[in-house]
Amino acid sequence: MPHTLLDAVRQYVEANADAAGVAQTPVPGLTTIRSTTPSGLIHAMPNPLICLVLQGAKDVTLGTQTHTFQAGDSLLITADVPTVSQITRASAEEPYLSIVLDLDPAVIAELSLQMKPQPSSVDTPLKAAERTDAEVVDAALRLMRTLDFPECVPVLYAQRVRELHYWLLVGRHGAAIRRLGWAEGQAHRVARAVAVLRADFKQPLPVDQLAATAGMSPSSFHRHFRAITSLSPLQFQKNLRLIEARRLMMAEGASASSAAFNVGYESVSQFNREYARMFGLPPIKEVEAAKGGAMASA
């Protein structure tokens, strides 16, 4: 049985990773990641999560702020926000290794009600690098060890996930994480609108409709949405469309025009401009560059 979290994650991901180095576990929301080479820029819109970097290093950018996370650090994202990440230190001898857990607002709310009140924190969706608390590492190791006994996972995983959330709440990230459990907190109300955007990003979604979903006035909603996600609702929807279009072209071989119309664009030229602004290259050129890189590494 692995003696450290690093050993446990290495063992699991080496046995179960897909071609991209990602191994989804039977525990909902728990993922392990491995990379033997530094990566290119990865654009994503993740759910609130905690990532424990166990080996190697990666940079994560939100807006104009870039944070570096290396072995022993925790990466905390407390809102659905667009991020640009890049694995910067990885090799065949020492791969980049990490474990990622989606944070569960229901578990956070339940635990928070049973705990003493704690100081609040300033809302910033991406937290600067912090050393991972020892109790969090121990709880994550117990959760990973559950995977060694598949028959135990359905019985034990919920309490192991709950324990990990508890140690996160009482640790250095606690004040920021606790906000996710506030049922009527601004972050939770904005999250309801974000869920609608994620589900229906291909359709026009008026701000008035999103504000009503969040239970706010349009002006208040727009202000809180930008404060929590760093984007306006329109920019957020645009990012979702572009990230999905990129996936369709890279993973499914869709043409630029097909991807554009599939994600809700009515103008291919507008799609090309906004794609190049976000990813640095027009869609056709980026697909060609990706194919060239794949052939070179084959």
Does the pLDDT value for residue 296 go beyond 50?
no
Mean pLDDT of 63-67: 77
Mean pLDDT of 254-264: 93
The C-alpha R_g of the chain, in whole angstroms, comes to 20
Is-above-0.85 flag for pTM? Answer: no
Mean pLDDT of 105-122: 72
Q: Do 186-230 and 236-297 agree at the fold level?
A: yes
Mean pLDDT of 27-31: 95
For the domain 5-181, what is the CATH code?
A: 2.60.120.10
69 with 53: CB under 8 angstroms?
yes
Does the pLDDT value for residue 121 go beyond 70?
no
Does the pLDDT value for residue 123 go beyond 60?
no
Domain spanning 186-230: CATH 1.10.10: yes
Mean pLDDT of 189-218: 89
Does the pLDDT value for residue 101 go beyond 90?
yes
pLDDT attached to residue 188: 73
Amino acid sitting at position 91: S
Nearest of 253, 259, 241 to residue 287 by alpha carbon: 253
Confidence band for 104, pLDDT divided at 50, 70 and 90: confident
Rounded Cα–Cα distance for residues 21 and 55 (Å): 14
pLDDT attached to residue 298: 45
> Residue ranges per domain, the chain?
5-181, 186-230, 236-297
Nearest of 277, 176, 198 to residue 244 by alpha carbon: 198
Nearest of 129, 128, 123, 116 to residue 170 by alpha carbon: 116
From 3.10.129.10, 3.30.2130.10, 1.20.900.10, 1.10.10.60, which CATH number describes the 236-297 domain?
A: 1.10.10.60
Does the pLDDT value for residue 127 go beyond 70?
no
Alpha helices (H) in 68-180, listed in sequence order = 105-114, 134-146, 153-170, 174-178
CB burial readout 64-96, b (16+ within 10 A) else e: eeebebbbebbbbbbbbbbbbbebebbeeeebb
pLDDT above 70 as % of the chain: 89
